[in-house]
Chain A
Amino acid sequence: MTAKVVVTGIGVATPNGLGVDDYWAATRVGRNAIGRVTRFDPEQYPSKLAGEIREFVAEDHLPSRLIPQTDRMTRLALVAADCAFTDAGVRPGDIPEFDMGVVTASTSGGFEFGQNELKKLWSQGSQYVSAYQSFAWFYAVNSGQISIRNGMRGPSGVVVSDQAGGLDAIAQARRQIRKGSKLIFSGGFDASICPWGWVAQIAGGRMTTSEDADRAYLPFDANASGYVPGEGGALLILEDAEAARGRGAENVYGEIAGYGATIDPKPGSGREPGLRRAIEAALADAGLAPGDIDVVFADAAGTPELDRIEAEAISAVFGPGRVPVTAPKTMTGRLYSGAAPVDVVAAFLSMREGLIPPTTNVELSPAYDIDLVTGAARTANVRAALVLARGQGGFNSAVVVRAAD
């Protein structure tokens, strides 16, 4: 039940890098990938900035038959899955088919694909809707397509908990390993930078209207005015630690050591938000004390009220200013279900290099008693990290990762 579960392969696609090496090269030096939206003309909308993946050409990586049946988020996920297998030094055929599965998180599904088909339905007629619409947009599509492409027939799943879901998926993947699966893919991808997705995100009321790419997404800053959305995500390969050692896995990034999740009480109840309890549950699950955590990767909502709640929860658990906190997602924008898996990747790479990547563009507000790593990356011996993620509706999830022995 409490077998150690480790990450042995990673595939990432983010606005500041495709692949683990490019992502980390950009992240460790704080390269900002936020810019004005280019996928459509954002002029008429109050929010105009996003973290876009600009170099990705799906046709370079995937068979042509997959292109018409996939949304952009699925193409990114399929390519990341290929990269993760390569990174792990495993071929799908090496492992019994019922012992491999895929558990992903989704936030909005294939919204761009959906917009195109809704347009056909309402402007041309129902007979013009694509035969692929029945599955290309829905939340389960990435798990389904990854399993098909790689012949993975074991326990699989899909969770949706807004931006907290990426951690919930990793936790569910860990459960499946502990129940006996040999290899589970986990993580999340979203890519809804299309007009229809943009309007839905604006409706959420938390996006910044700033047009200055270097001063737009400013969590824990006195000028915080909302977030910048992005696209992309990460997929991680999880294996049982003993089994990974047994097969001679060369790339053991570290352990998924603890997890906790809560949902906030109904707005207006006056009860404490659930983030502190999620952190405490994750630490207890990992068997670690607050003093064992070397860095916190914050959710970093970028709105004053949510930043305050997060800073207070961190201070309550660790003591004011007692643990370094960072939010490298300030470089990419918030990637929805992909955000937290990318932060888990960043946490492992921080351990590997002994370097905490910076929270770019932010000047810490004196209102928050946290040790935010701003400006440049900070050298540190990182053995254990806490990753936080929250979603609209009050979802709070926390994962503790630890260096492999």
Chain B
Amino acid sequence: MGRRVVITGIGVLAPGGIGTKNFWSLLSEGRTATRRISFFDPSPFRSQVAAEADFDPELHGLGPQEIRRMDRAAQFGVVTAREALADSGLDLAGFDPYRAGVTIGSAVGATTGLDNEYRVVSDDGRLDLVDHTYAPNHLYNHFVPSSFAAEVAWATGAEGPATVVSTGCTSGIDSVGHAVELIREGTTDIMITGATDAPISPITMACFDAIKATTSRNDDPEHASRPFDGTRNGFVLGEGSAAFVLEELESAKKRGARIYAEIAGYASRCNAFHMTGLRPDGREMAEAIKVALDEARMNPEQIDYINAHGSGTKQNDRHETAAFKLSLGDHAYRTPVSSIKSMVGHSLGAIGSIEIAASVLAMENNVVPPTANLHTPDPECDLDYVPLTAREHRTDAVLTVGSGFGGFQSAMVLARPERSLA
């Protein structure tokens, strides 16, 4: 085995609880953060529910200039990156800055900022030839979301490779997977990575309305996200960010870092089937899972918990249930599976990283978070989805997966570095 990569710092900003501690309280208590949309009047929309974060940028240390120039998603990313770096106890000032890099995942970039600025420059759609004299300078930062990676680099002092990874709803796994590859190959020793999205805006609600992907359960917003339940009828849009400090295992040990987990395996595949549709057999996700396990040199039996994509659409829940069976065999029936989207919603590109954070915290606490709102299981989904309440469960290794528009299917295996290798 060559260079191994571990997580040594975590920062989370999620609906229902900002900061890692509050996030874990929400998950372990099985509370939900979904509610009727408050950011704008949702009444014209088919789906009027979202998981919103109560975020005050000033309270999180952002200055007036940062607040003005950054989209909400960029603000989230900077706040969680700073939290992760502080959590790691790492002082980048002592390192060659070129050996530290940044990868940030985001599915839709500054879509909320773009929606807002479009309204102004077009005068609410009246102008085809939109008016540049009303455009702020930072519109370019919204136009190209790599500005998020630049902001995180500036906030942390990294000067090595930096990029945004944007593979739709698997961005939050793929971004971290990309960072792992850079450390393994020796390009960097430290990565600031993670993902962010803040898509709760009219244009996002409208586009998911158009394909009925989001829930119409507007009369019961707190219980609207129901992965694996027979009564589910679409996902609940969310927002948030999670960031990590990754280091090479030996150097992390040498400096006495707290090691949360090793990122032991990662793989991504494409279904090459449909931009939004999934084939029920789960074949491509299963392939990603198998390759990630091989890379981790682990057997399916070593997986103690599966953090599911669990978006709460019928096609997803059946697709990934099939994928788990195909890749893990009988062990799929024996290992707990849950979806935190039941509590924090689906924050598109960010959720993959938020779910990595949840997986690591499950290992820290030896507690598996539940699938909230799961009262009447879909008979087609016959695994152990940990309904309603968290479960104490020895958790040494976690499989977390994502699936998204464009056909991307990603899988990551998190494990304790001292495990036995197959």
Contact = CB atoms under 8 A, between A and B. Distances in A.
Interface of A: 1, 40-41, 44-46, 69, 97-98, 101-102, 106-109, 111, 114-115, 117-127, 129-131, 133-135, 138-141, 143-145, 147-148, 150-162, 165, 168, 172, 175, 192, 195-205, 261-266, 271, 274, 277, 281, 391-395
B414 interface: no
Interface stretch (B52-60, B166-174, B255-263): B166-174
Contact of B272 (A148, A165, A175, A201): A148
Q: Sorted from nearest, which 5 A-B pairs have the closest CB atoms? A: A144-B406, A393-B150, A123-B125, A204-B140, A122-B125
Among B97, B102, B114, B161, residue most surrounded by chain A Cβ atoms (within 10 Å): B161
B162 interface: yes
Nearest to A265: B159
Contact of A195 (B129, B269, B275): B129
Interface stretch (B116-124, B243-251, B332-340): B116-124
A274 B159 contact: yes
Interface stretch (B205-213, B302-310, B312-320): B205-213
A265 B406 contact: no
A160 B160 contact: no
Contacts, number: 273
Interface range for B = 35 or more
B132 A199 contact: yes
Nearest to B209: A126
Among B143, B146, B178, residue most surrounded by chain A Cβ atoms (within 10 Å): B146
Interface string B135-164: 111111111111101100110011111111
B405 A144 contact: yes
B418 interface: no
Interface of B: 44-45, 97-98, 102, 107-109, 114-115, 118-119, 121-122, 124-126, 128-132, 135-147, 149-150, 153-154, 157-168, 171, 174, 178, 181, 185, 202-203, 205-211, 213, 267-276, 284, 287, 404-408
B269 A143 contact: no
A297 to B, nearest CB: 20
23 contacts: A114-B114, A134-B213, A139-B164, A144-B405, A144-B408, A147-B272, A160-B163, A160-B166, A161-B162, A162-B146, A192-B143, A195-B129, A198-B132, A200-B143, A202-B132, A261-B163, A262-B161, A263-B153, A277-B159, A281-B98, A391-B146, A392-B147, A393-B147
B161 A204 contact: no
A111 B114 CA distance: 10
A118 B405 contact: no
A271 B118 CA distance: 36
A257 B139 CA distance: 36
Contact of A140 (B125, B146, B408): B408
Contacts of B159: 262-265, 271, 274, 277
B121 A196 contact: yes
A197 B408 CA distance: 27
Contacts of A195: 128-130
Contacts of A277: 98, 159
B136 A119 contact: no
